[in-house]
Amino acid sequence: MFQGKAILLIGARQVGKTTLLKQWVQGLDDSHLWLNCDEPDLRLRLTNPTSTQLKELFGKTRIVVIDEAQRVRNIGLTLKLITDELSHVQLLVSGSSALELSDHINEPLTGRKFEFFLYPLSHSELVGEFGSIHESRLLEDRLIYGSYPDIVVESEHREELLSQLAGSYLYKDLFNYQDIRKPEVLRLLLEALALQVGNQVSWNELAQTVGSDQATVRRYVDLLEKAFVLFPLRAFSRNVRNELKKSRKIYFFDNGIRNALVRNFNPLSLRSDTGALWENYLISERFKYNMYTSNHCHSRFWRTTQQQEVDYLEEKGGRLTAYEFKWNPKTKVRFPRTFTQAYPDCETHLITTENFRNFVGT
C-alpha cells in the first residue's frame, strides 16, 4: 500500500475477489471510496476521464476501490492517469477476467502495478478454516464438487450452482469482450478437454472432435486460460532423444467445474475417472500453493514416445523433483528406468491420500 503502484486483484468469477476487498478495506483506518463498475453511471465517469474530473470524483479520499474494472472501456489508461497524476490515491482494483485486464491494463500500467491472483479456495485455506480432520473427511467431496466458495458453504444445491457456473457464467467474459463466433465449438471444446484431463492434448484431434480447425481450437484454449478456467502443463525435455518436447496437458482450476462439464457428480466408487480427478486436484492445488507462496519453479510432466511417463515435475535452482500420483496408497510405483538413468540426481516421490498434505502446502 502507498508505494505509488495500483494493486490489482484478478481471478475467475465467483472466487471471492469482492468479498476479499471488502474485508480488507474494512480493516483499514483510512476511509475509502468504493466504485462498483456494474453501475452504468460509474462506468461512464471512469471512461476516458481527465485528471480534473478524477480529482472531483475522488475528493480527498486516499483509498479508491474499483470493482469489476474490466467493465470500463480503456480502463488501463484511466488507471495510469490516476497512478501518475493523483499520487495520494492508493488504487485497489478487481477484475473478473484476465482478458480485458490483459488487453487494456498491462501495457498502460507497466511498472505501475502489483498484480495478485485469486483462485478457488485452496486446501490450506480450507484446513485453516475447518481443520485438518474435517478436510480429510471431505477429500472425496472436494474431488467431486471442487472448492468455489459458494460450493463449500452450500450443501443442498451444489450441483445446480456448478452447472450454472460451467454453463456460461464462468466464461461470460469471453462472449462480452472477445469475438467468439462459434459458441457451440467452445462448449464442445470444454467438454472434450474435461474428458481428457491427465492426457496429452492433440490440437488436430480436438479440432476433429469439435468440428472446427486447429487455429480456432488453439485460440479458444488460450482464451479459456486467460479466463482462469483451465491451465496448461507442458512437457519436460533435456536429455533423452525420444522425449516429447512440445506436448501439453490441460487441467482445470477446479474439479467441480470439470465434473459439471461432463455432468457427472457420482461418488468415486461409481466412477472410472478417479485417477484423473486425483491428478487434476493435486496439480491445481500445487499450482495455487506455488502461486501464493511465490515458489517460483518450472512445472512440467515427462513422457517418451514409448509412453513412459512421470505425472509431474518441478525444476527449481537446477534441482529436479518428480512426482507420481496414486489415489490408492497401497499402489506400488516404479519410476521409468529411462527417466531415472537420464536424471539420476532427481528426487522422486509418490503422492497418495496418506501424504498429499505436504505437497499441497499443509
Cell 487434476 -> residue: 280
Report long-range pairs for 211-214 (Cβ below 8 Å, ≥24 apart).
211/185, 212/182, 212/185
CA terminus-to-terminus distance, the chain: 28
The pLDDT score that the predictor gives to residue 205 is 94
- Per the listing, cell 536429455 goes with 239
Question: DSSP secondary-structure letter at 115?
Answer: E
CA-to-CA distance for 86 and 74, rounded, in angstroms? 18
- Predicted confidence at residue 209, as pLDDT, reads 94
- Residue 244's CB is within 10 A of a number of other CB atoms, namely 19
Domain coordinates of the chain in residue numbers? 6-118, 123-360
Q: What is the pLDDT of residue 80?
A: 93
Query: What is the grid cell recorded at 280?
Result: 487434476
SS3 assignment, position 156: coil
Digit-coded pLDDT (tens) for 281-319: 999 999 999 999 999 999 999 999 998 999 999 999 999
Measure the CA–CA gap between 104 and 318, rounded to whole angstroms: 36
Task: For 224-251, write each residue's pLDDT tens digit.
Answer: 998 899 999 999 988 788 878 888 999 9
**Confidence at residue 108, expressed as pLDDT on a 0 to 100 scale:** 80
pTM: 0.92
**Whole-number pLDDT of residue 313:** 97
Backbone angles phi and psi of 269, in degrees to 5: -65, -20
The pLDDT score that the predictor gives to residue 70 is 85
Contacts of 106 (CB under 8 A, 6+ apart): 76
Q: How large is the C-alpha radius of gyration of the chain?
A: 22
pLDDT per residue as tens, the chain (362 positions): 999 999 999 998 899 999 999 999 988 877 899 999 999 999 999 999 999 999 999 999 999 999 999 888 888 899 999 999 998 999 999 987 665 666 666 668 888 999 999 999 999 999 999 999 999 999 999 999 999 999 999 878 999 999 998 887 777 777 776 777 788 898 999 999 999 999 999 999 999 999 999 999 999 999 899 889 999 999 998 878 887 888 899 999 999 999 999 999 999 999 999 999 999 999 999 999 999 999 999 999 999 999 899 999 999 999 999 999 999 999 889 999 999 999 999 999 999 999 999 999 88
Residue 5, C-alpha cell as written in the block? 503502484
What is the architecture, at CATH level 2, of domain 6-118?
3-Layer(aba) Sandwich (3.40)
